[in-house]
């Protein structure tokens, strides 16, 4: 059986966010793929223009094409927005196992916490944000996204963030108004084992949201990790989490 794992990054990120996980998995004999989405990471040149109007369907199509370049049915690993994309791909039979880390809400999951509701309110305060791109803000990131990254490292991580498509944010957080249904996942079509994990201190994706993500899957395992936030893939202890995930993956 192939030991290929494809790690899908979240909003404002790039494949770079998996550097620590990638090192662990490669050390365990895995072929680890960390593609950058349109306008992200190594593809970030002119992102402010490139990402205007780009939606989840565009990201999905890009990843479907990428998966044709790796052995069939790899393990799919998604962080935040990437976890929604991973679910969409798995529902098409493209994964042998599915790992969802701090999964952004797919269609049908409402925000249960004040922090998640505030995020939606903040987006509404930007006006018609779906028509443009959204640039990261350090003051917000250090409170919501980087709260479990050591303070001395927060700026360096933030400086690697880039713009994100406003349309993608709209489709994720305002799915009830998205007539295209871009984040609708046929959970009944996902037959592979699913691991869903979240940091107990995640202020973007609460443990309640992550549990709602895992709940419909017939063969799901859920972990709530104490002392971790949204960026647990690069927080202190990331190597230990990566090894634990690798041990979970069915042979």
Domains of the chain, by residue range, sit at: 4-248
Identify whether the C-beta of residue 45 lies closer than 8 Å to the C-beta of residue 14. no
Q: What is the pLDDT of residue 109?
A: 98
- The count of other CB atoms within 10 Å of the CB of residue 155 is 13
What global pTM score does this model have? Answer: 0.97
Identify whether the C-beta of residue 66 lies closer than 8 Å to the C-beta of residue 35. yes
170-198 pLDDT, tens digit per residue, is 999 999 999 999 999 999 999 999 999 99
Please state, for a pLDDT cut of 90, what percent of the chain lies above it.
96
Q: What is the pLDDT of residue 251?
A: 80
**117 pLDDT tier (thresholds 50, 70, 90):** very high
User: Burial of 226 by CB count in 10 Å (0-12 exposed, 13-18 middle, 19+ buried)?
Assistant: exposed
pLDDT beyond 90 at 1: no
Give the HSE-up count for residue 185: Cα atoms under 13 Å, Cβ half-sphere. 29
- Cα 174 from Cα 159, distance rounded (Å): 27
- The count of other CB atoms within 10 Å of the CB of residue 125 is 8
pLDDT beyond 80 at 134: yes
Q: What is the pLDDT of residue 192?
A: 97
Identify whether the C-beta of residue 46 lies closer than 8 Å to the C-beta of residue 38. no
**46 pLDDT tier (thresholds 50, 70, 90):** confident
181-240 pLDDT, tens digit per residue, is 999 999 999 999 999 999 999 999 999 999 999 999 999 999 999 999 999 999 999 999
Q: What is the pLDDT of residue 45?
A: 83
Q: What is the pLDDT of residue 47?
A: 86
Identify whether the C-beta of residue 228 lies closer than 8 Å to the C-beta of residue 143. no
**110 pLDDT tier (thresholds 50, 70, 90):** very high
Residue 225 DSSP SS3: strand
Helix (H) / strand (E) containing 164: strand 164-165
- Cα 222 from Cα 167, distance rounded (Å): 30
Q: What is the pLDDT of residue 170?
A: 98
Q: What is the pLDDT of residue 44?
A: 85
**101 pLDDT tier (thresholds 50, 70, 90):** very high
Higher pLDDT, 46 or 145: 145
Q: Which CATH superfamily is domain 4-248 in?
A: Alpha/Beta hydrolase fold, catalytic domain (3.40.50.1820)
Do the bridges between strand 220-225 and strand 164-165 make them parallel or antiparallel, or are there none, so unpaired? unpaired
Picking from 59, 65, 99, the residue whose alpha carbon sits closest to that of residue 79 is 99
Q: Which long-range contacts (CB under 8 A, 24 or more apart) does 113-118 make?
A: 113/206, 113/208, 113/209, 115/144, 115/203, 115/204, 115/206, 116/204, 116/205, 116/206, 116/209
- Phi and psi at residue 44, to the nearest 5°: -80, -5
């Amino acid at each position: 059986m192939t030991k290929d794992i494809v790690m899908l990054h979240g909003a404002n990120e790039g494949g770079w966010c998996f550097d620590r996980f990638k090192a662990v998995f490669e050390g365990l004999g895995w072929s680890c793929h960390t593609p950058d989405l349109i306008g992200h990471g190594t593809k970030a040149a002119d992102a402010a223009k490139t990402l205007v109007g780009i939606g989840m369907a565009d990201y999905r199509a890009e990843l479907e094409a990428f998966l044709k370049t790796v052995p069939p049915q790899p393990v799919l690993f998604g962080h935040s927005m990437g976890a929604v994309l991973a679910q969409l791909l798995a529902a098409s039979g493209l994964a042998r196992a599915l790992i969802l880390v701090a999964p952004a809400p797919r269609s049908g999951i409402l925000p249960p916490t004040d922090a998640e509701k505030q995020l939606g309110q903040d987006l509404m305060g930007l006006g018609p944000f779906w028509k443009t791109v959204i640039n990261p803000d350090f003051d917000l990131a250090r409170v919501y996204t980087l709260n479990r990254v050591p303070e001395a490292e927060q700026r360096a991580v933030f400086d690697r963030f880039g713009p994100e498509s406003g349309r993608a944010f709209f489709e994720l957080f305002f799915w009830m108004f998205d007539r295209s249904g871009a984040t609708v996942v046929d959970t009944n079509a996902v037959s592979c084992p699913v691991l869903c994990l979240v940091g107990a201190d995640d202020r973007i994706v609460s443990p309640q949201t992550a549990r709602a993500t895992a709940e419909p899957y017939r063969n799901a395992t859920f972990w709530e990790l104490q002392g971790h936030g949204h960026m647990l893939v690069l927080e202190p202890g990331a190597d230990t989490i990566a090894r634990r995930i690798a041990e979970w993956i069915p042979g």
